Amino acid sequence: MVPIQARMQKVAAGLVAAAVIALLLDWYSPSGPQQPLPHARSFAPEPAPGAEENNLFWLVQVSDLHISKFRDPGRAPDFEKFCTETIDVIQPALVLVTGDLTDAKTKDNIGSDQVEVEWQTYQTILKRSKVMEKTKWIDIKGNHDAFNIPSLDSVKNYYRKYSAWRKDGSFHYIHHTSFGKYSFICADATLIPGPKRPYNFFGILNASQMEELLSLAAESHDSNHTIWLGHYPTSTIISPSPGIRMVMRSATAYLCGHLHTLGGLMPVLHAQHHHGTLELELGDWKDNRKFRILAFDHDLFSFADLDFETWPVVLVTNPKPLLYSSSAHEPLQRILNSTHIRILAFSPSPIKFVKVSIDGIHLGDALHVSGPLYVLQWSPQSYSQGFHQINVTVQDASDKSTTQLHTFAMEENLSLKFGFFPSWLLLADLYIWARVAFALVVIIQIAFLIIFRYLGRPALKGHPTRAMQASLSLHILSKTNLFYYFFLLLSLYTVLGPWFIGEIIDGHMGACFSFGVIVDGHFFQGSITFLVGILQVMFFNIPLMAYLCWCLFLRCQGNCFGSHLHNVKQYHAVPVHLAMALLFSWQIYSCFFLLQTYGAMAFFLSPLRTWIVGLTLFLVYRSWTMNSSTLKTFIVQIKNNQSS
Ligand SMILES: *[C@@H]1O[C@H](CO)[C@@H](O)[C@H](O)[C@H]1NC(C)=O
Ligand SMILES: *[C@@H]1O[C@H](CO)[C@@H](O)[C@H](O)[C@H]1NC(C)=O
């Protein structure tokens, strides 16, 4: 081939890759003006933020409490302190608890079950702290609160007995104020019946639940703002067309939890839907003691993610951050019409000062109005062009201080982008990505098997290169019936067969497939199952095939199991055996995991877990002992080549 052609092909491939990446980036973190809403609210330029404490309320969100009988004894007492001290200082109009109220795990941290004392602990905290008398407490269910529940009527559905809200399912709550109506819509996507973990990670909404949510959304259209809340980020909800994000597009924000901070990898998980709705995942109470304060000030929405007992708490409500602005949902022109910068500052000790600067220029100390509100007169016209940075430092009498800093802008065509990874994690339909990736890895393995079975034998000449050896070993494996049919069946079985049959819910039989879980006559579409399937193929099915290729190749070179360590360079052979042993022990561990999660029956009736362990040992044994005619012809071929 002419080199220039090759280079052009490379350039073209690069361009295609770049275009795909650009599309992905743009899809998951859109910029520019938002698409208009069908029922856009008519936003009056008034009332605009001024010096009085009016048109203002704030609320608190906390998520993933995981009150546990077995772990972290500080979790519940800290939460009680939160319900007394923190709530007393902040005095929110509402508190939203977005699921996983209890941990519901067994003592070994692997199995799952509803533990009544965990629920009692939660209820005792609510009662002893009298928090439900101080504020409106809305607590919703998470996946942990639905582990191992055969039906909503089951006594194990402790949410009905011990939570504050107590009613299953989605709902619409309206917060009435003298200056408007604020809607809170809960989307309950927890599974009914509720399988034990881990196959209870994604939420599912069926067609009738979507209808219900659509009507709740319609009910809220005359509210000043609508906030949606749920446990699962929208990326972990399976919902029928047009999809959950479309149904909630009139919401200013969707508040959720569930992903914690991804073990610290993603401390901030915020994104924006195409219609402008913010999706705000909140870190967990469980390990990170996170909570969030949110405010509506003259219908401008703002929030801050906070750490328990880190004072003072500061929230700048005007001018709000550009990143979290949506012209489709908020009267943003009120920033330009405002007369005062407005700040909420909270602390158990008196606030000493609230210093404000913009673009590095100190503007003065904000004055206390009442409650937590501090204001400072300003002339927004001076900042009407371009990006500006506001910096607010609050210090309290105990000399603790907090600084909040963000970028604001008033020009309509300016916008900022959210990070790609948080956006992808919140906005990708993860179950579809997992399904596609699973299909790909299975197809790749099957394609290798079939291609090498029917490809003509390679002619050997001289000393074969590594690649030739690898290809030859694939020829040997694919052309040997036992191994060919085994791996073909294993691949097909991974896709089609039940991985195990057992008590998906205590006392209720079910089966787990790659494409979903069946329990008690209910079918739950696959999601996390595809991910487990990918791991199975990538870290067991394919490595086992590669390992057997390697063993068979050594056989054909005239080695036997006893001699190969001497003949092959040891530093070569030992790591290969070790790597396979490691993957094999992971497979054995997953049998144990199955035993702990779904019980003895699942352990014994699991072709893809327990049975495979036995089959693997058998296959490895056969690879060193079998004497098929195919194998013999390869042995002869390699011998002839070596001696020629
Ligand atoms: C809330 O909406 C009502 C009706 O549209 C409006 O009169 C009122 O000013 C709004 N409240 C605020 C704080 O903007
Ligand atoms: C949808 O789910 C709800 C709650 O689990 C259930 O009551 C209802 O029968 C389901 N509807 C359909 C059409 O499957």
DSSP string covering 451-490: HHHHSPPPPP-SSPPHHHHHHHHHHHHHHSHHHHHHHHHH
- Of the listed ligands, the closest to the CA of 152 is 2
Residue 20 has pLDDT above 90, yes or no: no
Burial call 126-163: b when 16+ CB within 10 Å, e when fewer: beebebeeebebbbbbbbbbbbbbbeeeeebbbbbebb
CA distance linking residue 382 with residue 365, whole number of Å: 19
Give yes or no for a contact between 274 and 310, defined as CB atoms under 8 angstroms apart.
Answer: no
Closest to 105 (Cα-Cα) out of 200, 226, 177? 200
Contacts of 320 (CB under 8 A, 6+ apart): 300, 301, 302, 335, 408
Structure tokens at 564: 């190969």
Q: Where are the beta strands (DSSP E) in 64-215?
A: 94-98, 136-140, 171-177, 180-186, 203-204
**Identity of residue 299:** D
Burial environment of residue 508 by CB neighbours within 10 A (0 to 12, 13 to 18, 19 or more):
middle
Domain count, the chain: 2
Contacts of 125 (CB under 8 A, 6+ apart): 67, 76, 79, 80, 83, 131
The model's pLDDT over 67-79, given as tens digits with 9 standing for 90+, comes to: 999 999 999 999 9
Closest to 557 (Cα-Cα) out of 573, 541, 571? 573
Among 153, 168, 171, 208, which is best to mutate for testing ligand 2, by the most ligand atoms less than 8 A from CB?
A: 208
User: Which of ligand 2's atoms lies nearest the C-alpha of 206?
Assistant: 1
Among 299, 301, 338, which is best to mutate for testing ligand 1, by the most ligand atoms less than 8 A from CB?
A: 299
Q: Are residues 407 and 520 in the same domain?
A: no
3-class SS string, 503-546? EEECCEEEEEECCEEEECCEEEECCHHHHHHHHHHHHHHHHHHH
User: Which of ligand 2's atoms lies nearest the C-alpha of 207?
Assistant: 13
Cα 301 to ligand 1 centre (Å): 14
Q: Are residues 419 and 448 in the same domain?
A: no
Instruction: Kindly report whether the global pTM for this prediction surpasses the value 0.85.
Output: yes
Q: In this predicted structure, what is the pLDDT of residue 197?
A: 92
The model's pLDDT over 215-270, given as tens digits with 9 standing for 90+, comes to: 999 999 999 999 999 999 999 999 998 899 999 999 999 999 999 988 888 899 99
The model's pLDDT over 299-310, given as tens digits with 9 standing for 90+, comes to: 999 999 999 999
- Of the listed ligands, the closest to the CA of 179 is 1
Q: In this predicted structure, what is the pLDDT of residue 46?
A: 85
Residue 21 has pLDDT above 80, yes or no: no
Q: Are residues 250 and 310 in the same domain?
A: yes
CA distance linking residue 48 with residue 243, whole number of Å: 35
Cα 177 to ligand 1 centre (Å): 10
- Of the listed ligands, the closest to the CA of 46 is 1
Which one of 411, 427, 443 terminates a domain? 427
Residue 1 has pLDDT above 50, yes or no: no
Q: Are residues 436 and 501 in the same domain?
A: yes
| 7 part of a folded domain | no
The strands making up 522-525's β-sheet, listed across from edge to edge, are 500-505, 508-513, 516-519, 522-525
pLDDT above 90 coverage of the chain, percent: 78
Q: Where are the beta strands (DSSP E) in 348-494?
A: 351-358, 361-365, 367-370, 373-377, 387-396, 401-409
| 6 part of a folded domain | no
Q: Are residues 406 and 435 in the same domain?
A: no
pLDDT above 70 coverage of the chain, percent: 95
Banded pLDDT at 44 (limits 50, 70, 90): confident
Pick the more confident residue, 512 or 21.
512
Q: Which CA distances in Å does 432 have to 439, 526, 531?
A: 11, 9, 10
Q: Are residues 289 and 201 in the same domain?
A: yes
**Beta-carbon-side half-sphere exposure of residue 389 (alpha carbons within 13 Å):** 8
User: Which of ligand 1's atoms lies nearest the C-alpha of 55?
Assistant: 13
SS3 640: helix
Which one of 402, 427, 452 terminates a domain? 427
Average pLDDT in the chain: 91
Q: Are residues 412 and 459 in the same domain?
A: no
Residue 96 has pLDDT above 80, yes or no: yes
Instruction: Tell me the CA end-to-end span of the chain in Å, nearest whole number.
Output: 34
Neighbours of 440 (CB within 10 A): 12
Structure tokens at 211: 């209808």
Range of the domain at 313: 38-427
Burial environment of residue 327 by CB neighbours within 10 A (0 to 12, 13 to 18, 19 or more):
middle
The model's pLDDT over 562-591, given as tens digits with 9 standing for 90+, comes to: 776 666 665 678 888 899 999 999 999 999
**Beta-carbon-side half-sphere exposure of residue 431 (alpha carbons within 13 Å):** 23
Q: Are residues 124 and 143 in the same domain?
A: yes
Which one of 427, 455, 485 terminates a domain? 427
The strands making up 313-318's β-sheet, listed across from edge to edge, are 313-318, 340-346, 373-377, 367-370
The model's pLDDT over 140-180, given as tens digits with 9 standing for 90+, comes to: 999 999 999 999 999 999 999 999 999 999 999 999 999 99
Q: Where are the alpha helices (DSSP H) in 225-328?
A: 244-247
| 378 part of a folded domain | yes
Q: In this predicted structure, what is the pLDDT of residue 427?
A: 93
Q: Are residues 473 and 614 in the same domain?
A: yes
Residue 33 has pLDDT above 50, yes or no: no
| 1 part of a folded domain | no
Q: Are residues 319 and 376 in the same domain?
A: yes
SS3 498: coil
**Beta-carbon-side half-sphere exposure of residue 42 (alpha carbons within 13 Å):** 0
| 13 part of a folded domain | no
Q: Are residues 471 and 384 in the same domain?
A: no
| 155 part of a folded domain | yes
From atom 1 of ligand 1, which residue's Cα is the shortest distance away? 180
| 307 part of a folded domain | yes
Q: In this predicted structure, what is the pLDDT of residue 3?
A: 60
| 601 part of a folded domain | yes
Residue 34 has pLDDT above 70, yes or no: no
From atom 3 of ligand 1, which residue's Cα is the shortest distance away? 180
Give yes or no for a contact between 255 and 229, defined as CB atoms under 8 angstroms apart.
Answer: yes
Closest to 225 (Cα-Cα) out of 148, 156, 303, 167? 303
Q: Are residues 412 and 456 in the same domain?
A: no
From atom 5 of ligand 2, which residue's Cα is the shortest distance away? 192
- For the residues 274-295, what does the mean pLDDT come to? 96
Q: In this predicted structure, what is the pLDDT of residue 567?
A: 65
Q: Where are the alpha helices (DSSP H) in 253-339?
A: 333-337
